[in-house]
Structure 1
Amino acid sequence: MSTHPDYNAMSDAEFRKIFRDWVDVNCPQHLRFMRKQRPTFDEVADWYHALNDKGWLSPVWPVDYGGMGLDAAKHIVYVEEWARLGCPRIPDHGIGLTGPLLIEHGSDEQKAEFLPKILTGEHVWCQGYSEPGAGSDLASLRTQAVRDGDDFIVNGQKIWTTLAHCANWILLLVRTTKSDKRQHGITVLLVELSSPGVLVRPIKNLREEEDFCEVFFENVRVPARNVVGEVDVGWALAKSVLGHERIFLGAPSRPEYALTRLEILARDRGAFEDAAFRSRYARLRLDLYDLGSAFERFAKVLREGGTLGADVSVLKIFCSELYQRITEEMLTVAGEEARYYDDLPVGDAGGAIDVMNLYLDSRAPAIFGGSNEIQRGILAKAVLGLPSR
């Protein structure tokens, strides 16, 4: 059991300072504000282990399981400071998905087997949800698991599986029963990627990085003891771990960082001498203020112990589309230089800016975590009460 203090009893300002002071000393400078948005485990292993040694790797896990036990308010501070300080993203499916799912729904044996190995990094997890034809419409997944004695035999394919080629376990959604109600008959399985019949094939993204993979399963045997919860009710389990993490899809950290880089680039290139640019920049700046205010409104609900409603989807749309507009303006300011993938020099003060890298990175958030089209559908039905057809 961890012996760290009760962070939830601290003021936000006190906890923020403690976090910042420790990160300043312990997060390697060469990992700050990495160009690569999803580094592999090996690239950030030292940072991962430092967080675990401090007891700060798993912010929302209960203290009894090696976590910090942060409430929603302190978790928001943790995530905000992580972004502001430029900490690299760690492979976090074990921390943010598998761990919470096992803590809430796993057997005692599963908790004892898997949770410690997530913390030590012995098990690196990926998320096997999306399939060809079943991305945002996840309930239509077709990867099948058939019971055979003490095992399930899995056949099917997953796609856009982040960092699967660097993982050794996958949290897999499979169909175990055909049903007229698509959400019924789905089961959660824990599958070791070294199992016979598993093939992982990396996919290059727009930046020529291998963030994503497709994963094939051909007669893969998985012990029945690796079912999380009950067979056929995995849909409810998969949704149960989302919780207040949904708010972070709309956190203003990415557009904030991009706007600071746009300002540096614009001053270096003399763009502020152009009245038309000043007008466009002012609108972006004001929209960022609005996003920050909206984020704080939803954060206030969590700080007061409330539950987020469907209207939180507006944050994800607002944030991702603002991020795109800011990086598009960066291309305009950079002009012909924007075609270069390498950093653009911006004088002694700013160093260099990866204009094209940020532009390409801004394309993804409108798709992952539920595409913006899906978010608009949620708002239309659950908030505005519009009919489905």
Structure 2
Amino acid sequence: MAIDYNAMDEQDFRRMLRDFIAAECPPHLINQARRVNWHEARDWFLKLSAKGWLAPAWPVEHGGMGLNVEKMLAYHDEFDSAGVARHPDIGIVMLGMLLVRFGTEAQKAHYLPRILAGEDVWCQGYSEPGAGSDLASLRTSAVLDGDHWVINGQKIWTTLAQDSTDIFILARTDPAAKKQQGISFFLARMDTPGITVRPIKTLAGDAEFCEVFLDDVRVARDNIVGAVNDGWTMAKALLGFERLTHGSPKFAQMALLRLETMGRELGIFDDPSFAATYTQLALDVADLTATYARFAETLKGGGALGPEISILKLWGPDLYQRISEFMLDVAQENGSALGPTRFGGAEVDPLGYYFLSRPTTIYGGASEIQRNILAKTLLGMPG
């Protein structure tokens, strides 16, 4: 019998999560200042899956926890407070929610259980050279040939593509249509002939992102979500989920907790300058958390995330970067050391958080694009 987590007392719910994390989460996934790879997170992923705790936002009938907004925020707060690393979750937070909303019954029945079982690990084939934040300008093409679509093009900044078994791809299926039209949303296996992955090493020395080359990749005719040429509807919905994720307070919350640890271990909370900056950052995190809850409530209620979601995507990464920059100031000479540094009785990686926060104002729609969206759609300013 499924547990009704929403009916639980919040403190009991939090205690349940906290006890499980303390007992079961592998130590190497605590306080990581980088994205972890599938081989590092696989066992933890499967533990969460076996527990039924892998997909907090998914409906119960599809294997999720079906959490309301209050419980979902509590869920993320407990995982983030414990410093649990983000496992490869694109199939959970992006594709899964899209299939729940737009997928056929056959697609839901096939893909959702495989995502939860860790059998399919997904990556996102959206951005291209010359079509990142301006995603509608993508040039990857798909041409129907009998029972297959033949896809040609290139994707870039594809997170953890080297670990993935599957990829969802935006491709242009009507080159004569206006750029937001004539695009379709495809599902493909990464071992399909013609797909080549080339990792990109970051400043931090990690290969978090990849280039993906698509050369005459044949995808079954039915491996499309939504109607042909209606991929922009899928893209906007998924970008809404993505911007909700990238604007989540959890990244800023985790960095703030590490900053608090540094301040406590260094004994500088009595310093007026540190205390004033820390307090302002903590208030900003609280404001972000409250705003995030409002958007999450809309999504949980079955509503669509409109252009105002750009506020969250603009705000969250900026705050994350400001906290990480202050961590470097507090660390002083230790701020130039890559890897965990001991501050009193605790280890923190200030430079790792700084590096991890740098691309957040770019991926999922650059901050400049978010400002343009807000100016045009909410303020009515000319484009």
Segments of structure 2 that go 5 or more residues without pairing to the other structure are none
Alignment of 1:1-389 (within 5 A): 3-36=1-34, 38-241=35-238, 246-266=243-263, 278-279=272-273, 281-300=275-294, 302-303=296-297, 305=301, 309-347=306-344, 349=345, 351-388=346-383
**Counterparts in 2 of 1:180 and 1:82: CA distance versus 1, 3 Å:** same
- Using the alignment, how far apart are the partners of 2:339 and 2:65 within structure 1? 39
The SS at the match of 2:33 is coil
RMSD: 2.5
**Counterparts in 2 of 1:16 and 1:189: CA distance versus 1, 3 Å:** same
CA contact (8 A) 2:123 2:160 kept: yes
- Using the alignment, how far apart are the partners of 1:52 and 1:196 within structure 2? 31
- Per-residue Cα deviation, 1:214-234 (whole angstroms, up to 9, x for no partner): 000111111112112211101
**Counterparts in 2 of 1:20 and 1:291: CA distance versus 1, 3 Å:** same
The SS at the match of 1:130 is coil
Instruction: Give the stretch that moved more between structures: 148-157 or 230-239.
Output: 230-239
- Per-residue Cα deviation, 1:44-95 (whole angstroms, up to 9, x for no partner): 1111111111111122222222221223333222222221122221111111
Instruction: Note the C-alpha offset of 1:156.
Output: 0.2
Which amino acid counterpart does residue 319 of structure 2 have in structure 1?
A: L
**Counterparts in 2 of 1:6 and 1:271: CA distance versus 1, 3 Å:** closer
- Per-residue Cα deviation, 1:233-256 (whole angstroms, up to 9, x for no partner): 011022224556644433333333
- Using the alignment, how far apart are the partners of 1:24 and 1:270 within structure 2? 27
CA contact (8 A) 1:151 1:224 kept: yes
**Counterparts in 2 of 1:211 and 1:7: CA distance versus 1, 3 Å:** same
- Using the alignment, how far apart are the partners of 2:60 and 2:261 within structure 1? 42
Instruction: Give the stretch that moved more between structures: 126-135 or 71-80.
Output: 71-80
Which amino acid counterpart does residue 107 of structure 1 have in structure 2?
A: T
- Using the alignment, how far apart are the partners of 2:310 and 2:136 within structure 1? 19
Q: How many residues are aligned here?
A: 380
Instruction: Note the C-alpha offset of 1:23.
Output: 2.3
**Counterparts in 2 of 1:387 and 1:14: CA distance versus 1, 3 Å:** farther
Instruction: Give the stretch that moved more between structures: 70-79 or 119-128.
Output: 70-79
Instruction: Give the stretch that moved more between structures: 366-375 or 6-15.
Output: 6-15
CA contact (8 A) 1:269 1:333 kept: no
Instruction: Note the C-alpha offset of 1:314.
Output: 2.8
State the TM-score, normalized to the length of structure 1.
0.89
**Counterparts in 2 of 1:314 and 1:106: CA distance versus 1, 3 Å:** closer
Instruction: Note the C-alpha offset of 1:261.
Output: 3.2
- Using the alignment, how far apart are the partners of 1:13 and 1:268 within structure 2? 28
Which amino acid counterpart does residue 13 of structure 2 have in structure 1?
A: F
Instruction: Note the C-alpha offset of 1:180.
Output: 4.1
Structure with the bigger RCO (C-alpha within 8 Å, sep 6+) is: 2
Instruction: Give the stretch that moved more between structures: 19-28 or 85-94.
Output: 19-28
- Using the alignment, how far apart are the partners of 2:353 and 2:326 within structure 1? 11
Instruction: Give the stretch that moved more between structures: 100-109 or 222-231.
Output: 100-109
- Using the alignment, how far apart are the partners of 1:294 and 1:353 within structure 2? 24
CA contact (8 A) 1:250 1:295 kept: no
The SS at the match of 1:363 is helix
Q: Percent identity?
A: 47
- Using the alignment, how far apart are the partners of 1:199 and 1:307 within structure 2? 35
CA contact (8 A) 1:62 1:68 kept: yes
State the TM-score, normalized to the length of structure 2.
0.90
**Counterparts in 2 of 1:29 and 1:124: CA distance versus 1, 3 Å:** same
CA contact (8 A) 2:91 2:121 kept: yes
- Using the alignment, how far apart are the partners of 2:331 and 2:196 within structure 1? 42
Instruction: Note the C-alpha offset of 1:302.
Output: 4.6
**Counterparts in 2 of 1:110 and 1:32: CA distance versus 1, 3 Å:** same
- Using the alignment, how far apart are the partners of 1:40 and 1:54 within structure 2? 21
- Using the alignment, how far apart are the partners of 1:78 and 1:173 within structure 2? 32
